[in-house]
Structure 1
């Protein structure tokens, strides 16, 4: 649906600087809960983990535009109403390819969307809505933290900053 990794801004930067340096990863994630309070997850094609739709921002995009695009690319759903609830800037991680990134990422709660859920895309091998007490595994380590941050935002009305 979108750019390949090699074509993406982050893919081009990684290819230019190599594997050893830590890069800034600027991106967004979109949290969708349906009317039954089930969470939308995708099963990623690269590592088979269940995850919240998310990804890196491209040049010229806003974080909101990034969230809308990533959700669309990974699920076929187009977000039409979303609210930022958490901003992360202090987390460094090394992925399965040995690439290290410091994340600068915003999480958005998506309140409304259009389209039909696509369970298989270029970036996912499955997708679905799951009860919060029965999420599939193996799953991304950030799901629990993201849901806790959303609950804190909903309780206080204050954006979570980490």
Structure 2
């Protein structure tokens, strides 16, 4: 998976120290209510589509771009479903990061789901009752959607 150029430039200055980065997540549904998942190349776990925003990129544009780049699916945003920071993580290369993530509920409007870049080894649509294990934060987004929550979730102060 290529690391964005702006992150490489920052890493030249700070090494593998903690970076605070903007992230996006997409809970993408098809017309049958199935959920689009990718099987990540870095850890082989199933996940919602996620990504890091480029400098100056709007979150909505970023998630639509990430969905297309990773899966070949063109999506339309319906609404924001969650705003939260991720736990501190250490990537496989040792880089540390925390992401301020905006999660969107999206609808697929065209395209065929497929592995479309090197970030995934598999892509598929899953009925809610057939979902594989997901990262806890993403599982929370899916659960709240399936429960019919309409308000944007955020951690209470």
Q: Under TM normalisation by the shorter chain, which class is it?
A: 0.7 to 0.9
Give 3-state SS (helix, strand or coil) of 1:43's partner: strand
Gap change, CA 1:10 and 1:148, over 3 Å in 2: farther
Gap change, CA 1:11 and 1:145, over 3 Å in 2: farther
Structure 1 segments (4+ residues) deviating >4 Å: none
RMSD: 2.2
Report whether the alignment pairs 1:160 with 2:121.
no
Give 3-state SS (helix, strand or coil) of 2:129's partner: coil
Gap change, CA 1:136 and 1:149, over 3 Å in 2: closer
Q: C-alpha deviations, 1:66-109, integer Å up to 9, x for none?
A: 11111111101122333111101363233333332222010000
Give 3-state SS (helix, strand or coil) of 2:82's partner: strand
Give 3-state SS (helix, strand or coil) of 2:87's partner: strand
Question: How far off its partner does 1:37 sit?
Answer: 2.3
Report whether the alignment pairs 1:10 with 2:3.
no
**How many equivalent pairs are there?**
155
User: Residues of 1 paired with 2:5 and 2:80: CA distance?
Assistant: 24
TM-score, reference length from structure 2: 0.84
| Contact 2:24 2:63 (8 Å CA) reproduced | yes
User: Residues of 2 paired with 1:13 and 1:76: CA distance?
Assistant: 30
| Contact 1:81 1:113 (8 Å CA) reproduced | no
Q: Mark the runs of 5 or more structure 1 residues left unpaired by the alignment.
A: none
